[in-house]
Structure 1
């Protein structure tokens, strides 16, 4: 079954170093940090997989709703 997890990705600059943090209102506990957007998305996918597996093991229910008929997805393009 496919599920939709919307990520909120924020850019931070600390000591002149840029990094990104991803969280989600759709999956409690999901927090990921990476040096690039691509890295933070990959880490968030790994964290989400672990959280979903743990949730299913402990409660035997899906904590994320099925994919809605319409949803938004940000597509970043280099031009």
Structure 2
């Protein structure tokens, strides 16, 4: 099993929720109620898109790089109810 790192952009929607897109992999669009849910959906969509590249013998986009053992400076959302 291989793992790839991609960049995603997450924006808050006026009607509520969030949308993720990616400059790294064309066609990635995901929407969720929270940032965490949107990230999870984006991972699933990215996985399907990458598998499609392999199934069709297409090269991966240049921006996609295999993951390394050490990943630094990652920000994660933490939802807190106060």
* TM-score, normalised by the number of residues in structure 1: 0.76
* Structure 2: segments with no counterpart, 5+ residues: none
How many residues align? The count is: 76
Q: Once superposed, which parts of structure 1, at least 4 consecutive aligned residues long, lie more than 6 Å away?
A: 68-71
Q: Deviations over 1:44-64 (max 9, x none)?
A: 011011000111111254332
* Structure 1: segments with no counterpart, 5+ residues: none
Answer with 46-55 or 65-74: which moved more: 65-74
* TM-score, normalised by the number of residues in structure 2: 0.74
